[in-house]
Amino acid sequence: MTTDQTTAKTPGWVVPMLVGIAFLALFAVCPYATGYGHERKPIAYWLWYFWRFPEWQHGALVPFILTAVIWRMRKDLSSLPLDGNRLGLGVILFSLFLFFAGYRSNIYYLGYASCHLLAIGVVLWIGGVPWFKRLFFPIFFLAFLWPLYFLENRIGFPLRMLMTELSSGLLNGIGVEHLKQGTAIVSPDDGNSFALEVANPCSGIRSLFALLMIGALYGYIAMNRTWHWIVLCLSAIPFAIAGNVMRILILLGGSIWLGSDVAVGEDGGTSPFHFFAGIMVFLTASAGMFLLGKGLHIATGYFRKNPDSVEVPARKTKSAHG
């Protein structure tokens, strides 16, 4: 008996309800990892814990975005047959193995991977390959839900060094005398005129993952070719770097003309001017991605008119109704 035959004999609400109960039991109720504490907490707790930090706040938006995307797909999905694939059962079993391995090793990142793979396995097991293809973008986009805290140190410091080098090069280009001391940029007069430490917030780590998410979503909505979508998504990286260089230059200019207390903030605080400079990161990067999308549209003549009728990554010339 195939999966779709089994599903056909049960009410339509039974399978989603059972899947939902399984997800809640494993990821929202079951104590999983201690993290930096002493008691095991569910995976849902660790998501909420890290979503409070600026670097990972975008993850809290992912469930709402995915709900909207899948809701817009509902007509196409209702026309697809439930052609269950046994490969999905293998993926489900492997995801449960990862869940157990993460529990035993006290690593919640394995729990994240388990949850993601379980979602893939359920789609394959119940809906089959057609459903997996149609839901490829939501499945991919789910990756932005997970706070990968370990990347902050691995990526943050190299980004700080890069921001310092680029900002110093631009200051040299416009003739502003300065000294570069590690990840700090100071004026030659012992930093009396200006002194700016390129800390983690100025490295771009806080905006990088959020901008990658924005680029992926904008590419899905706006573009109808796979490579366009990939280019637009990856363009978030250079645009985030450019936006953070702009932020550093604004802070340095404000320090020169207004003073460090006004431009940066007093006693480690953040001034309104500093907050405005942070907004420039997203304005610069978002404008860059929008212009790039328009450029791809003009260069190729393709622009998605109905985002629900085209799949990512495999483009089809007709919708599911066509």
**Per-residue pLDDT tens digits for 234-253:** 898 899 888 888 888 888 88
For residue 314, with 0-12 CB atoms within 10 Å meaning exposed, 13-18 middle and 19 or more buried, which class applies? Answer: exposed
17-21, 36-40, 146-150: least confident range: 17-21
More confident residue, 24 or 80: 80
Q: What is the pLDDT of residues 174-220, one digit of tens each?
A: 888 888 888 888 888 765 677 888 877 667 777 888 889 999 998 88
Listing DSSP states for 178-204 in one string gives: -EEETTEEE-TTTTSS-EEE--HHHHT
pLDDT of residue 6: 46
Q: 195 has which bridge partners?
A: 186
Instruction: Map residue 314 onto helix, strand or coil.
Output: coil
In this prediction, what percent of the chain has a pLDDT beyond 90? 27
Instruction: Map residue 164 onto helix, strand or coil.
Output: helix
Rg of the chain over all Cα atoms, to the nearest angstrom: 24
From residue 310, give the alpha-carbon distance in Å to each of 25, 82, 301.
35, 20, 16
pLDDT of residue 103: 92
pLDDT of residue 91: 94
The average pLDDT across 103-128 equals 92
Distance in angstroms (rounded) separating the CA atoms of residues 222 and 229: 8
Strands 195-197 and 184-186: antiparallel
* Chain position carrying tokens 């990862």: 98
Q: What is the pLDDT of residues 294-315, one digit of tens each?
A: 888 787 764 445 455 444 444 4
More confident residue, 259 or 268: 259
Distance in angstroms (rounded) separating the CA atoms of residues 46 and 57: 13
pLDDT at 44 over 60: yes
pLDDT of residue 128: 92
- What is the pLDDT of the chain when averaged over all its residues? 82
Global pTM value: 0.79
Tokens of residue 7, six digits: 């599903």
Distance in angstroms (rounded) separating the CA atoms of residues 228 and 218: 11
Q: What is the pLDDT of residues 56-91, one digit of tens each?
A: 999 999 999 999 999 999 899 889 888 888 999 999
